[in-house]
Structure 1
Amino acid sequence: MDKAPDVIKIIYLIGELGRGGSERQLFLLLKQLVHKAFQLHVVVFNPSSYEVYNDELTRMGVELHLVPGDCRGVVKRARWLYRLFCKISPQIVHSWTTHDNPYAGLLGWLARIPVRWGSVRGSLTSSGFQRLPLVFRWLSLHGTSKLVVNSRAIIDELVLAGIAPVNIIFLQNCVEMESTGKVSDLGQYGVRQTQKVVGTVGNLRRVKNQKMFVDAMAGILLNSEDVAGVIVGQPVPEDPDLPDILASQIENLGLKGRLVVTGFYEDVP
């Protein structure tokens, strides 16, 4: 019987490391894995236009590998990644981004990485997934031995797509519990600390459906003075008009001052 390795090497693949929801979940997972038994690596495919987790992860001892800017296209990226996989020789490769699953599955197999996992963190009907070439869509779902998901609805979609439930791992989203008990000060937005806050966190994208959140909160806020609504999220180039659309919606529903959009917020747990 082979002796278990003293250090387990894990490579995570992610599209970018900006302070979005998916990146936050990976950051929190890595914080739990920082231990002498693990050697952690994160491959970042694209630079982010926003604040990133690079410095915090580096201080934690996670090694970052930024795909060079001249590695554009599947072939160049595949060649660069294969060389990195062979150099590190990890026991596990886990793609945190659905469209990067084929790299983890196919290149991981070629590099003889024993454990090759992918992730699905959004609906298979989303435009982002449907725009992928057919072969990439197939490899994204079938190219790895396990798929990690954060939603029971996604589990149902995957089963309908022919993925065996035994090959799906449900990992719920989490938040960091602050030991200090410090409460975020939202006074600058007109939110009193005595109010109950109902919020949603995510970059301002149509796919996040913040408009539905505004509609859902209208009935609550108009009837409950002790409740405030908060949308934490920054504008993104893909949906530049969404902040104005949300502002108009909030004003038309009579929620101005009761439901606020804060933009980027540093201390989201």
Structure 2
Amino acid sequence: MEKTLYVASLFFLCFWTKAQENKPYNYFVQESKIVDSGNTIEVNKKGDTVFVAHYKRQDLINTSNQDFIKTYKGTPFFKNGWYRGKVQTGTGMEWEFVMAYNIQKEEIYLSNNPNMEATVMKPVSFTMEGHTFRQYKNQYYEVIYEGGSQIWKEYGCSLIFSNSSQRTGYEAEGGDEYDGEFLKTVKYYLKEGDRLREIPSKNRLFKLFGSKSNDVKNYAKTEGLNLSKEINLVSLFRYYDSL
């Protein structure tokens, strides 16, 4: 048992060391070629969750440093923040950390406490806020239903820029309130053997059920299921598996 703990500790120590050696780190795919010198997640007066990135740029002409910030609506993180969760390794070991899932970069950030530099990791699976994710072909999916069928949920995130100029604090008032916005999307897949088949929307969905499509369609109509809602999509497949 002691040997196992020693090996595991050494394994994670390598990650901590690597994280300390590679500062600063880009926590999002950005427009600027300058690495951010720090970032924060804040809630502004409007109640919007925003991602604030701080930059330092050297002015070669005036031999001075120029500070500027970029403010983006939303964040690239799952549920817009850091949460206590667990990661699972390929050997079946489980570790608890304060963690964040960066949807845009498909990376997991781990930290023992808020004062430590985060470590980038690609665990086999992880759980946070009651959601369990599995890695499949270098992508993370949340398994939202496992019966006779399996439904996997994919999260996506894109940063849409509102303008390409850097903010220096000297701009005229007005203009766009944010430098961009993180837009999140989801897709659902049916796991069939070793492949994922995207679940289509509306009536095309019923083609997945083959000879039982009419039965499933009648069930959806009788129950008044709005299939744009995840809970109803799960109910539909649960009914199909019961036939």
Give the TM-score taking structure 2 as reference length: 0.21
Which protein is richer in strand relative to its size?
A: 2
Give the TM-score taking structure 1 as reference length: 0.20
Which protein is richer in helix relative to its size?
A: 1
